[in-house]
Amino acid sequence: MSDYDYDLFVLGAGSGGVRAARLSAQLGLRVAVAEEDKAGGTCVLRGCVPKKFMVYASEVPEQIAYARGFGWEAQSGKFDWVKFRNANNTEVNRLSDIYASNLVKVGADLINARAKLTGEHTVHLTPSNGDAPYEVTAKTILIAVGGHPFVPDDVEGKELAITSNEMFHLDKLPKSMAIVGGGYIAVEFAGVLNGWGVETHLLYRGDQILRAFDQEVREHLTQEMGKKGIRIMTHAEPKSLERVADGIKVTLTDDTELTVETVLYATGRRPHTRNLGLEEIGVGLDRDGAVVVDKFSKTALDHIYAVGDVTNRCNLTPVAIREGVAFVETAFKNNPQAYDHSQIATAVFSQPQIGTVGLTEQDAVAQGIRVDIYTARFKTMKTAFVGGDNRTLMKLIVDHKTDVVLGVHMVGPDSAEIIQMAGIAVKAGLTKAQWDATCAVHPTAAEEFVTLREKRTA
DSSP assignment of 265-289: E-S-EEES-TTS-HHHHT--B-TTS
Q: Reduced to 3 states, what is the DSSP secondary structure of residue 228?
A: coil
Q: Matching CATH topology for 6-148+270-332 and 158-267? A: yes
Residue 52 is predicted with a pLDDT of 97
Asked whether 214 and 362 are in contact (CB, 8 A), the reply is yes
Residue 239, sorted as left (phi over 0), alpha (psi -120 to 50) or beta, turns out to be: alpha
Known catalytic residues are: 442
For the chain, percent helix, then strand, then coil, each to nearest 5?
35, 25, 40
Print pLDDT tens along the chain (458 aa): 579 999 999 999 999 999 999 999 999 999 999 999 999 999 999 999 999 999 999 999 999 999 999 999 999 899 999 999 999 999 999 999 999 999 999 999 999 999 999 999 999 999 999 999 999 999 999 999 999 999 999 999 999 999 999 999 999 999 999 999 999 999 999 999 999 999 999 999 999 999 999 999 999 999 999 999 999 999 999 999 999 999 999 999 999 999 999 999 999 999 999 999 999 999 999 999 999 999 999 999 999 999 999 999 999 999 999 999 999 999 999 999 999 999 999 999 999 999 999 999 999 999 999 999 999 999 999 999 999 999 999 999 999 999 999 999 999 999 999 999 999 999 999 999 999 999 999 999 999 999 999 999 99
Residue 76 is predicted with a pLDDT of 87
Residue 133 is predicted with a pLDDT of 98
Task: Please give the CATH architecture assigned to the domain spanning 346-457.
Answer: 2-Layer Sandwich (3.30)
Domain boundaries of the chain, sorted by first residue = 6-148+270-332, 158-267, 346-457
Identify the burial level of 90 via C-beta atoms within 10 angstroms of its C-beta, where 0-12 means exposed, 13-18 middle and 19 or more buried: exposed
- Report the topology of domain 158-267: FAD/NAD(P)-binding domain (3.50.50)
Which positions ≥6 away from 361 have C-beta within 8 Å?
214, 215, 216, 371, 373, 395, 397, 407, 458
- Omega before 443 cis (within 30°)? yes
Domain 6-148+270-332 has CATH 3.50.50.60: yes
What is the spatial distance between Cα 95 and Cα 375, in angstroms, rounded to a whole number? Answer: 40
**What are the C-alpha distances in Å from 215 to residues 219, 334, 389?**
6, 44, 21
Residue 244 is predicted with a pLDDT of 97
